[in-house]
Amino acid sequence: MADGLSSEEVEVFARGLYHLASVDGIEKEESMLISEFLEETGSSITFEDLKESSFIPYEAAQILEATYLRRIFILAAITLVKSDGVFSDAERRALGEIADVFGLSNAEFGDLEQEAARQSLTSN
């Protein structure tokens, strides 16, 4: 699998990102980012497949055991939910619940939020 992620890790990333995007309605930017992720990782999962999937944060925490994987997921998730220009309360709550299950403190989450903001500034 590309980027050193196992197929199981890619799947949980994709299901998690889809779950977060669907919290307040999936926007075009969000679906494009998820589809791009699936394509770049060489996943056999399609965006359509994700519509039938579920995401359980505790399961994700078991699959994404390493702290760096959890941090990468949260960073990708923040970037995703902000890609449409709106970070809704529902998205913030859903992301906060995942961060809690992943064992991230509020300070760590804040650091990741700032990192995501810096990355989006430099990539535009």
pLDDT-derived band at 3, boundaries 50, 70, 90 = low
pLDDT of residue 122: 62
pLDDT of residue 87: 84
* Average pLDDT across the chain, whole number: 90
pLDDT of residue 117: 84
Give the tens place of pLDDT for each residue, 81-105.
988 888 889 999 999 999 999 999 9
pLDDT-derived band at 12, boundaries 50, 70, 90 = very high
Give the tens place of pLDDT for each residue, 27-82.
899 999 999 999 999 999 999 999 999 999 999 999 999 999 999 999 999 999 98
Phi (first) and psi of residue 55, to 5 degrees: -130, 125
Nearest to 71 by CA among 31, 42, 121, 113: 113
Three-state secondary-structure class, residue 15: helix
Report the domain count for the chain: 1
Cut 0.85: pTM above it = yes
Domain CATH code at residue 42 = 1.10.3680.10
Tell me which residue range forms the domain holding 64: 2-123
Strand (E) or helix (H) holding 46: none
Kindly provide the b/e burial profile for residues 77-106, where b requires at least 16 CB atoms within 10 angstroms of the residue's own CB: bbbbbbbbeeeeeebeebbeebbeebebee
pLDDT-derived band at 22, boundaries 50, 70, 90 = very high
